[in-house]
Amino acid sequence: MEARSENKFDIAVIGAGMAGLTCAQQLQQAGYSVVVVEKSRGVGGRVATRRVGNTRVDHGARYLEPKSELLRRLVLVLRSRGIVDIWTDTTYAVNPITGKLSVAEAGGWCLYYVAPEGMNAVGKFLASDLNIWLNRRVQRLAAKDGKIWYLTLEAANEDAQTPTELTARAVVVAIPAPQALILLAPLTDLPAEFLRKVRYAEYQPCISVLAAYPAFRQQDMAQRDVGWRAVIFPKESQLAWIGWDSSKRALSAQPVFVLHSSPEFAQQYLDAEDLQPAAQALIAEAAKFLLPWGNSPEWMQVHRWRYAFPSYPLSETCLSAATPLPLVCCGDWCGGDVGGNFIESALNSGIAAAKTVNQFLENLDLPGEGFWDAIARK
């Protein structure tokens, strides 16, 4: 490894989601100089939390569902640090004919874990001690003289103090496949089969609605016949899921809910400038089945996830371009559908990408699946 200048790194990771942060931690803990470039103002990708005044609302990933050993180990570390705790052990499903609730058996029993301070606390934990450039969108990726990658960046806030370019010996692209394709398609020396696989990994959209109600409605929630915290809706419904988000946090001042649309419903509003009609339609359906008073929120916000869930994930855990300069893609769109648990896919993919990049470079000792133990010790 070479001594680097301010803008020269061994590895540049594009995207600070779960896969990108996992990959960056693996490589940095091995001894490489790593920079993570993220177009947003925060880390974690879809493991996201929004603040509305003093209220935190998880408008992306609903919870951690540790059905496999890898995610169980992460949850154990997070719980030991007080970052996550048990939310519920039961989700319910709406009967499309009677409208009644029953325990959802699909997928088997599992404890569901949440972060009381917001699910983005998980991303913040994985981002510990990493060099992350936020509010920087990678505009162009190019191989310079066949020896090094050159990245041109666009500043989101016109901050003249932050660099708008960097170089790296290897690049990891850890963003949704359609966004990755925008960067990769102009590179003329990439194998056609590599680009074909990136194009294959399509995504389904989702609209998230955040709705808060007056404090006195807490009493209505306490008097329900079924004490649900999360409810799944039938496939034919425009509403896919609703969660009582404020139940994740002690001493919440008012009931707050998060509603997720079906992919088909979100597709209708993929390019709509006004998402309020979509939000009203989803709230009306929630009111019909679960919340009789749900049509009158005290405040409401809407978020569109254009790339919410991979619809056709690749079987490979990561995707190497097999070019002279190391270029590897990873994300929840790699590694197959781990029982619908795309956080698990992202973690596996980030680890695989780090192994692949390491083989191209110095082949140093990587920390492996227990890399978060090193984070927790700091």
pLDDT at 339 over 60: no
Element (H, E) at 218: helix 217-222
Query: What mean pLDDT comes out for the span 336-350?
Result: 81
Query: What mean pLDDT comes out for the span 34-57?
Result: 96
Residues in the chain: 378
pLDDT category, 3, cuts 50, 70, 90?
very low
pLDDT category, 261, cuts 50, 70, 90?
very high
The beta-strand segments (E) located in the chain are 8-14, 34-37, 50-52, 55-57, 85-88, 92-94, 101-103, 112-114, 132-133, 136-144, 148-155, 165-173, 203-212, 230-232, 239-244, 256-261, 299-310, 319-320, 327-329
Query: What mean pLDDT comes out for the span 229-248?
Result: 96
Query: What mean pLDDT comes out for the span 351-355?
Result: 97
Average pLDDT score over the chain = 92
pLDDT at 25: 97
Query: What mean pLDDT comes out for the span 335-351?
Result: 82
pLDDT at 2: 45
**∠ CA 235-179-65 to the nearest 5 degrees?**
45
Query: What mean pLDDT comes out for the span 145-153?
Result: 91
Query: What mean pLDDT comes out for the span 239-251?
Result: 95
pLDDT at 131 over 60: yes
How far is 335 from 57, CA to CA, in rounded Å?
A: 29
